[in-house]
Amino acid sequence: MANVKFHSGEKVPLEMHKVRIVQKLELLPIEKRLEAIAEAGNNTFLLKNRDVFMDMLTDSGVNAMSDKQQAAMMASDDSYAGSETFYRLEDKLKNLFGMDYILPAHQGRACENIISQTLINPGQIVPMNYHFTTTKSHIVINGGTVEELIIDEGLETTSTCSFKGNMNIDKLENLIRLNGSENIAFVRMEAGTNLIGGQPFALANLKEIKEVCRKNNILLILDASLLQDNLYFIKTKEEEYKEKSIREITREIADQCDIIYFSARKLGSARGGGICIRSEHIFNGMREFVTLYEGFLTYGGMSVREMEAMTVGLEETMDMEVINQGPQFIEFMVDELIKKNVPVITPAGGLGCHVNAMDFVDHIPQNEYPAGALASAYYLVSGVRGMERGTMSEQRNPDGSELFANMELLRLAMPRRVFTMSQVKYAVDRLAWLYENREMIGGLRFTEEPKILRFFFGRLVPVSDWQQKLVEKFRKDFGDSL
Ligand code: F0G
């Protein structure tokens, strides 16, 4: 999005791309949507995409690719070992991050598996700004524990803090003092902190963390899956970096880190993952896990076509006019929802628009999953699929009691360059209607509850007939509209 001012004064994110391939969508009538969500056990992960109008479940693996990415895919080099495609990817990552050793993996959580198995001894702690679901599971499965050291503003739903993803440095120093650096496996920082609303960290904060890690001889690992949004926020909101290029900021971030891993389903708008490592010793420890779990060292479970797309996508990430589309569309959506009094996480972050279910449906207790209930209700009234990011996304405590999430969010992801402005307006309109009718939304309860990552395939039912009543109200207000 270039610096284009509208004469009207309206703040409109103007796309600096045109659409050349389209996919037809269908919007089912609400009665069919009721059937679909019941069949999916009120879990939006279990909806069939054919029953979804706007898929705002995630930005993972569903960003629009550029013509250059598509073209590169045609020229990929298929071979089990020594593929030219891998060397192109390796060169790009070395060039961007300045690290000597690169390992491919099929996606972000595969990197987390390899990192956790290599670097965590049972009983060790992993301090981080905030956890991500798959990250925490891998750390815990390997005997580690997660300590979240996010600054207080990070957990405030509405705030003017530009860097809610920052870590509290005092807390980090105290934790190390109390436990001893030998009991810290590594420090993990997550760019564009996913579970608290895609909130970025400041480069100044990362530098302070690095200093603490250096003094205590602890590794600093960056989860760069959402780096592109974080780069945008550093460039636009951190005074010191206003004049620096995205490439320079990227390198300065990387310079603070010992290891960078990422899901290329987000970063680079392709599908895959990778680990960039500074130390040869650590690289040697990790690479056998790549051949064990992923594939040979020159593809790591990825198709060569995806690797080519990733290489081009990583380079395109250095272009401000490419990476600003996501955050600016999200900001537009957040602003529109605020105008209609819908409670959303502020400031607008990356990844998507995050609706505060704790306020939206404040009559639903946390053990009836307010964010899950809102996700189900929203699909019902709009055909838009969002994702629960609250208590359902947590794992129960070892004694079987619920671990209530700090935040109950309905995440409406904004896959990059996928939706048009009128579609975003539709999503806002239906959510505003639902907000006006929020008292009608009821809770959910599990009928099938997996032990690990239950939100992926758990099944739930409504606690009453609130969904049927919502359908009746929709018909009353919208007539025969889809
Ligand atoms: N780290 C972060 C910060 C993520 O957001 C994700 C995935 C992963 C790691 C795992 O990567 O999916 O490639 O294995 N987030 C997706 C999401 C699933 O929808 O937010 P993966």
**Number of domains present in the structure of the chain:** 2
pLDDT digits (tens, 9 = 90+) for 112-154: 999 999 999 999 999 999 999 999 999 999 999 999 999 999 9
Question: In this structure, are 222 and 364 located in the same domain?
Answer: no
For range 405-427, the mean pLDDT: 96
pLDDT digits (tens, 9 = 90+) for 299-352: 999 999 999 999 999 999 999 999 999 999 999 999 999 999 999 999 999 999
Question: In this structure, are 262 and 381 located in the same domain?
Answer: no
**To which H or E segment does residue 273 belong?**
strand 273-277
Question: In this structure, are 338 and 410 located in the same domain?
Answer: yes
Question: In this structure, are 382 and 470 located in the same domain?
Answer: yes
pLDDT digits (tens, 9 = 90+) for 251-286: 999 999 999 999 999 999 999 999 999 999 999 999
Is residue 266 part of the annotated active site? The answer reads yes
Evaluate if residue 165 carries a pLDDT over 90. Answer: yes
Question: In this structure, are 245 and 271 located in the same domain?
Answer: yes
CA distance 66 to 266: 14
pLDDT digits (tens, 9 = 90+) for 46-100: 999 999 999 999 999 999 999 999 999 999 999 999 999 999 999 999 999 999 9
> pLDDT value at position 4?
87
> pLDDT value at position 392?
96
Is residue 85 part of the annotated active site? The answer reads no
Q: Are 130 and 165 in contact (CB under 8 A)?
A: yes
Q: Is 401 exposed, middle or buried (0-12, 13-18, 19+ CB in 10 A)?
A: exposed
Count CA atoms closer than 13 A to 326's CA, side-chain side.
Answer: 34
Write down which residue in 319, 338, 372 finishes a domain. 319
Nearest atom in ligand 1 to the alpha carbon of residue 112 is: 9
Nearest atom in ligand 1 to the alpha carbon of residue 111 is: 14
Evaluate if residue 1 carries a pLDDT over 60. Answer: no
For range 443-468, the mean pLDDT: 96
**To which H or E segment does residue 33 belong?**
helix 30-39
> pLDDT value at position 395?
87
Residue 194 banded pLDDT, cuts 50, 70, 90: very high
| DSSP 8-state assignment for residue 403 | -
Cis preceding-peptide flag for 365 (omega within 30 of 0) = no
- What domain range is 108 assigned to? 69-319
Evaluate if residue 229 carries a pLDDT over 70. Answer: yes
Residue 3 banded pLDDT, cuts 50, 70, 90: confident
> pLDDT value at position 453?
86
160 C-alpha to ligand 1 centroid (Å) = 26
Question: In this structure, are 47 and 89 located in the same domain?
Answer: no
Helix (H) and strand (E) counts in the chain = 18, 14
- Mean pLDDT over the full length of the chain: 97
Residue 219 banded pLDDT, cuts 50, 70, 90: very high
Q: Are 206 and 187 in contact (CB under 8 A)?
A: no
CATH number for the domain including 42? 3.90.1150.10
Please identify which of the residues 6, 24, 80, 451 carries the catalytic annotation: 80
Ligand 1: residues within 6 Å at CB? 58, 60, 107-109, 132, 134-135, 190, 194, 223, 225-226, 263, 265, 273
Question: In this structure, are 311 and 355 located in the same domain?
Answer: no
The model's pTM is 0.96
Is residue 223 part of the annotated active site? The answer reads yes
**At residue 157, what is the residue type?**
T
Is residue 417 part of the annotated active site? The answer reads no
Q: Is 276 exposed, middle or buried (0-12, 13-18, 19+ CB in 10 A)?
A: buried
> pLDDT value at position 2?
61
Please identify which of the residues 51, 55, 59, 223 carries the catalytic annotation: 223
54 C-alpha to ligand 1 centroid (Å) = 20
CA distance 369 to 43: 11
Minimum CA distance residue for ligand 1 atom 21: 108
